[in-house]
């Protein structure tokens, strides 16, 4: 552990947001800021101008099982803190609805006294987010077709009825 320890009033915070609006990176950075930390590690996931079976992706449409997202994220944060106890604050903002190419669908930020713990924590957080948190995405193509995507990293994706039902 580092000096100074966080004051009782500065207990590690977990900050989550699901939003249909543009995500602000500065907001996530401010949310995890701490005088006791020298490092903020971040990851921003953006919609990529991808191609799927010859069709060009123009954007992604995100949906979530919102009631379950928070509890899964809280569980992930407990796991992160057990592995890297020096981690101070953790912020995960996820966008829902339409996210065009180039815009952010997720912003994850972690503050820590030194950089190594924070960088490992962010990588672990993203692995967990992809594997366990119930957020689905639909690729929307230039020809206006669309297809729900299963996340290759997600343990429960193949059991998700909506994903199968909405494939088209």
- What's the closest the beta carbon of residue 67 comes to a second copy, in angstroms? 27
The minimum distance between CB 17 and a second copy, in angstroms, equals 17
Q: Indicate the SS3 state at residue 76.
A: helix
CA–CA distance, 159 with 148 (Å, rounded to integer) = 14
| Least Cβ distance, residue 108 to a second copy (angstroms) | 10
Closer to a second copy by Cβ: residue 46 or 70: 46
The residues, ordered by sequence, that sit 6+ positions from 74 with a Cβ below 8 Å of its Cβ are 14, 16
Q: Which residues bind a second copy (CB under 8 A)?
A: 3-4, 25-26, 29, 33, 35-51, 101-102, 113, 115-116, 119, 122-123, 126
Cα–Cα distances in angstroms (integers) from residue 21 to residues 14, 28, 71, 106, 162, in the given order: 20, 14, 22, 12, 24
Nearer to a second copy, 11 or 161 (CB): 11
Give the nearer residue to a second copy in terms of CB position, either 25 or 164: 25
What is the Cβ-side half-sphere exposure of residue 34, based on CA atoms within 13 angstroms?
A: 30
Tell the smallest beta-carbon distance from residue 165 to a second copy (Å). Answer: 26
Contact 113, 39 (CB under 8 A): yes
Nearer to a second copy, 38 or 68 (CB): 38
Name the residue nearer to a second copy (CB basis): 5 or 68: 5
Contact status, residue 94 vs residue 64, Cβ threshold 8 Å:
yes
CB of 2 to a second copy, least distance (A): 8
């Amino acid at each position: 552990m580092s000096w100074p320890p966080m004051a009782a009033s500065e207990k590690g915070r977990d900050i989550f947001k699901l939003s249909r609006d543009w995500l602000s990176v500065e907001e996530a950075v401010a949310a995890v800021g701490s005088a006791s930390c020298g490092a903020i590690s971040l990851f921003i996931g953006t919609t990529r101008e991808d191609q799927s079976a010859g069709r060009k992706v123009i954007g992604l449409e995100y949906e979530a099982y919102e009631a379950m997202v928070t509890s899964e994220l809280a569980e992930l944060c407990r796991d992160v803190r057990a592995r890297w106890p020096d981690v101070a604050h953790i912020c995960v903002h996820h966008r829902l609805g339409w996210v065009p190419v180039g815009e952010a669908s997720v912003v994850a930020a972690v503050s820590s006294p030194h950089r190594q713990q924070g960088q490992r924590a962010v990588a672990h957080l993203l692995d967990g987010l992809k594997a366990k948190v119930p957020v689905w995405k639909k690729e929307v193509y230039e020809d206006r077709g669309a297809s729900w995507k299963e996340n290759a990293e997600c343990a429960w994706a193949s059991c998700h009825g909506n994903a199968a039902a909405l494939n088209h």
